[in-house]
Homo-oligomer: A and B are copies of this chain.
Amino acid sequence: MRARGENEMPSYRAPVEDVLFLLNDVLAIRRYDNLPGFSDASEDVLEALLNEGGKLAGSVFAPVNLEGDQEGCQRHPDGSVTTPEGYKAAYKAYAEGGWAGLSVPEEYGGQGLPHVLNTAISEFASGANLALTMYPGLTQGAIAALLVHGSDQQKQTYIPKMVEGAWTGTMNLTEPHCGTDLGMLKTKAVPNADGSYALTGTKIFISAGEHDLASNIVHLVIARIEGAPAGTKGISLFVVPKFLVNEDGSVGERNGVSCGSIEHKMGIHGNATCVMNYDGARGWLVGAENKGLAAMFVMMNEARLAVGVQGLAQSEAAYQNAVAYARERLQGRSLTGAKSPDKPADPIIVHPDVRRTLMQIRAFNEGARALMLWTALQSDIAHRSGDEKERRTADDLLGLLTPVVKGVLTDKGFANAVEAQQMFGGHGYIEEWGMSQFVRDARIAMIYEGANGIQAMDLIGRKLPKDGGRAMMTFLGEVQGFIKDHDEDAALKSFTGPLQAGVNDLQAATMWLMQNAMAKPDHAGAGATDYMHLLGLVAIGYMWGRIAKAAATKAAEGGDAARMEARLATGRFYMERMLPETALRLIRIKAGSETTMALAAEAF
């Protein structure tokens, strides 16, 4: 076949207009100017930073995405790893742009801007090049963990270097026999005389574990101190640099940690997924002994949101390329008469089934983007507000929504990438066109940082019952408040009605679980994934309500009417065709676990 032409390479254009609309008009970010860092992100600054970040994504990260996938990473006999051609230069542009420190406190060299802004930029970077973005992405998690649990000396030693982009970070959790069940971990830490520890063991699936983009790599590693209790109660967190750091902060001798091999994966080929061997490597305890799990969860929660963002990002990238193809590819005629009679056929965007596909992805993307930013904003409020009640409420919502953002945005993000690929027919299956890469790359987001089934269990088993269900009551209260406030608004009727139906399903499911899952926990497990998606559907539906409200207001004020009308139509599509899935989810939840658990393990 004709190869995809130069000017037809998969491309990425950051959705800057949408983010600005969401931040300014929907989430009314200016209301939070009392929080530290927010007033620095004035309207002009926001716009300038988003445009800059968008440019980095579209013109620096995206151009090396397809080739990076085809080339992949190479591990050399000495254990060093090289990234694909062009990654170094792109990473350098990222580091020099100061993006790694966007929302890190200024005392460590960062800019102290809101995390919600950082989240928007993460979507751009991940959409343009997921494998590359993971290198600095994991660094963000390492910074977050050290900020909360590190000693002053640890913070001063590692964070500024990571903020500069000179060093990167990793998370070392998984071992061959333990993924989800970290209590089974075997990596051992033995105290050295100088207060450090000697770590020995093998970690697997370590993203960005070894590479050539930075002069040092800061590994955050969980291990069991000799003599510590078995299970999760005996887990401690350590910082283990690839190169030991001299007194003056310069890079010293090589530590006893090395990359034993890299994985041959379905996607994210440009990111090295490493087996890391610790052979008496020197590490320093982060936080308290045997309290590693809590420290790890700081990284983990940060990472889970970031992974949700990745799911949305791949959905957006795939969507943009599908739109471009649908406008150009000529095939068949419109059912309502030729639309391009001068051409041999109409562009396929005239076909309703193609439109359905595009609308479905678009309606998800815009609603999910709002949910992602709203959740990130909760993180800002929870960490920066001076008001305890406000902090608590934000923290409740953040906890409740984190597994939803992770699980739903990656499940649907992947499904959308598949739908976008489908529109290309046979060309979608050919690697040169880039649609396969979006699918293969999106696939990992459903798996790592806790597979989506684990997110569902976290939601239903921890977040939902916590504090007597306070978080869910907060969420429901907010959504019901929105419906009530706009009940009389004729322009929003096609939004509030379906949203109420969705809320009813969510309440019924929650009630059913409260009444039935206590006595029989299998009922909760059997309904967990459906419950996570049910909450996701309603949360995105709520976002669409708020988007519609803002769009109607803006259109009435004369602001970009065409774009606002498009938003309202897209939102109505969501309400009509997507939100009603809540009823199906409720049916499944209420079916309980009887048939799910009916077979003996041997009968499968």
Footprint of B on A, CB under 8 Å?
1-2, 174, 176-181, 184, 204-205, 261, 263-267, 275, 323, 326-327, 330-332, 335-336, 344-345, 347, 349-359, 362, 414, 418, 421-422, 425-426, 428-432, 436, 439-440, 443-444, 446-448, 451-453, 456-457, 521-522, 524-526, 528-529, 562, 566, 569-570, 572-573, 576-577, 580-581, 583-584, 587-588, 591, 593, 595-599, 601, 603-604
Contacts and interface: CB of A to CB of B under 8 A. Distances in A.
| Nearest 8 A/B pairs, CB to CB | A352-B525, A569-B598, A335-B521, A1-B204, A266-B436, A573-B595, A352-B526, A181-B331
Contacts of A522: 335-336, 352
A263 B432 CA distance: 9
A327 B266 contact: no
A524 B425 CA distance: 21
Contact of A180 (B205, B331, B572, B591): B331
A276 to B, nearest CB: 11
Contacts of A591: 576-577
The winner among A336, A353, A588 for most chain B CB atoms within 10 A is: A353
Contacts of A451: 422, 425
A451 B424 CA distance: 9
Contacts of A448: 426
Contacts of A526: 352-353, 355-356
A447 B354 CA distance: 14
A597 B422 CA distance: 19
Given A352-B528, A352-B596, A352-B597, 18 more contacts: A2-B204, A179-B331, A204-B426, A263-B429, A335-B522, A336-B522, A351-B453, A352-B522, A353-B525, A355-B596, A355-B597, A359-B595, A426-B447, A572-B595, A573-B596, A580-B584, A580-B588, A583-B583
A170 B181 CA distance: 50
Contacts of A529: 353, 356
B422 A266 contact: no
